[in-house]
Amino acid sequence: MATQSQDIDSATGSQWLDKSTQETLVRIGRHGLLLVWSFIVLFPLYWLASMSLKPPGEANALPPDWIFLPTVYNYIQLAQDGAFLAAFANSVIMVGASVVLVLLIGVPAAYVLSRWDIPMERDVLVWILSSRMLPPIAVVIPFFVIFRELNLFDTRIGMVFMYVSINLSLVVWVMKAFFDGIPETLEEAARVDGATRFQGFRKVVLPAAKPGIFSVAIISFIFAWIELLFGLVLTNFNAVPVTLFVYSFIGSRSIEWGMLAAASTAMIIPVVIFLIAVNKYLAAGLSFGVVIKE
């Protein structure tokens, strides 16, 4: 045994360090890497937030002013801007409604695909996914034509349908995998216990699937919330989403960096609120059900 472990040590070439030093070095290296990564991820957010707190004119100064007197000037401007508030409210309503609707359609569909023997099940799944196989830019013109014909152009309800079509395949695919991971004996136990099939689904399976449902809800929310292209083409005035409003700060001659940053920072807030609200379900959900105990 002794010779064996020596062999391994010499093979890794670390004989000149004792074990505890090695472990310390590994730990330092690991934390160092995490710090670098955190910096890479968080720096743009810092940049954005700090830019939103700078007075006009200083926002894009070069070299940047690292030390400045923060001001909420940009935010006050935003809060007094009716168009921004309308767009923000639009987005909250349209995206919120689309998440509810996509769950109402997608979760039962995923359950049926998971539990029933559907003819050509594989094909149905691929067909659902195919709605996301084309780049959005390729389908935006057909969407525009359809929306115009159906009088959905520049309506909130139209945008809700749009967001649902973006997220439906995600919800169905992820939730099907999630339901597949929930043992079928749960419903069978419920049925033997006196529940109908639907009661078994509602009272036993659905609560067990909560982590998955909240995960796809938050992902769907984010995808719809940050959507720009369809909003740009399919709205004009009434149903403008907040992303489009933020985009409007990029003018043809100048960019209002301070306002752009303030609006962008404000856009993050609903996502963060949503995340905090469902946080306790997320850890389980993002592992796609493997923590479900049989």
Partner 1 sequence: MASITLDDITKRFGEGGDSVVAVDDVSLEIEDGEFVIFVGPSGSGKSTLMRIVAGLETQTEGDIHIGDALVNQLGPRARDLAMVFQNYALYPNMTVEENMSFGLKMSTDLSKQEIKDQVTEAAEMMGIGNLLDNKPGELSGGQQQRVALGRAIVRDPNVFLMDEPLSNLDAKLRTTMRTEINRLQNDLDTTTLYVTHDQTEAMTMGDRLVVLNYGDLQQVGTPLECFYRPRNRFVAGFIGSPSMNFFEGDVEDASTLICDGFTYELSERMYSNVGDRAEVTIGARPEDIELHDDSIDTNGFEVVVDVVEPMGSISYVYIQPVDQSHEQTFVVEVDGQQPIAEGQRLYAHFPPEDVHLFDTKSGETIHQRKLDSDVEMLAGGQSQNASTSSSQL
- Cα–Cα dist 30/275, whole Å: 27
CB of 119 to partner 1, least distance (A): 12
- Cα–Cα dist 200/115, whole Å: 12
CB of 293 to partner 1, least distance (A): 5
Binds partner 1 (CB under 8 A): choice among 38, 185, 236, 279: 185
The nearer residue to partner 1, 128 or 209, going by C-beta atoms, is: 209
The nearer residue to partner 1, 117 or 149, going by C-beta atoms, is: 117
Angle formed at CA 186 by CA 184 and CA 187, multiple of 5 degrees: 75
For residue 292, state whether it binds partner 1 (rule: CB under 8 A). Answer: yes
For residue 287, state whether it binds partner 1 (rule: CB under 8 A). Answer: no
The nearer residue to partner 1, 182 or 259, going by C-beta atoms, is: 182
- Cα–Cα dist 156/236, whole Å: 11
- Contact present, 49 and 261 (Cβ < 8 Å): yes
For residue 183, state whether it binds partner 1 (rule: CB under 8 A). Answer: yes
Binds partner 1 (CB under 8 A): choice among 7, 23, 123, 188: 188
Residues 190-209 touching partner 1, rule: CB under 8 A, are 190-196, 199, 203-204, 207-208
For residue 219, the tally of other CB atoms under 10 A from its CB is 17
CB of 197 to partner 1, least distance (A): 8
CB of 113 to partner 1, least distance (A): 20
Residues 5-44 touching partner 1, rule: CB under 8 A, are none
Q: Rounded to 5 degrees, what are φ and ψ at 55?
A: -65, 155
- Contact present, 108 and 117 (Cβ < 8 Å): no
Q: How deeply is 279 buried, as exposed, middle or buried, from its count of CB atoms within 10 A (0-12, 13-18, 19+)?
A: exposed
> What is the size of the binding site for partner 1 (CB under 8 A)?
21
The nearer residue to partner 1, 189 or 250, going by C-beta atoms, is: 189
Q: How many CA atoms lie within 13 A of 121 on its CB side?
A: 13
Residues 206-225 touching partner 1, rule: CB under 8 A, are 207-208, 210
For residue 175, state whether it binds partner 1 (rule: CB under 8 A). Answer: no
The nearer residue to partner 1, 132 or 203, going by C-beta atoms, is: 203
Residue with token string 């960096």: 257
CB of 277 to partner 1, least distance (A): 18
Residue with token string 């609707």: 101
The nearer residue to partner 1, 81 or 121, going by C-beta atoms, is: 121
The nearer residue to partner 1, 63 or 194, going by C-beta atoms, is: 194
Give me the DSSP letters along 90-137: HHHHHHHHHHHHHHHHHHHHHHHHHHS--TTHHHHHHHHHHTTTS-HH
CB of 292 to partner 1, least distance (A): 6
- Contact present, 106 and 172 (Cβ < 8 Å): yes
**Torsion over CA: 231, 236, 242, 244 (sign):** positive
Instruction: Give residues in contact with partner 1 (CB under 8 A).
Output: 183, 185-186, 188-196, 199, 203-204, 207-208, 210, 292-294
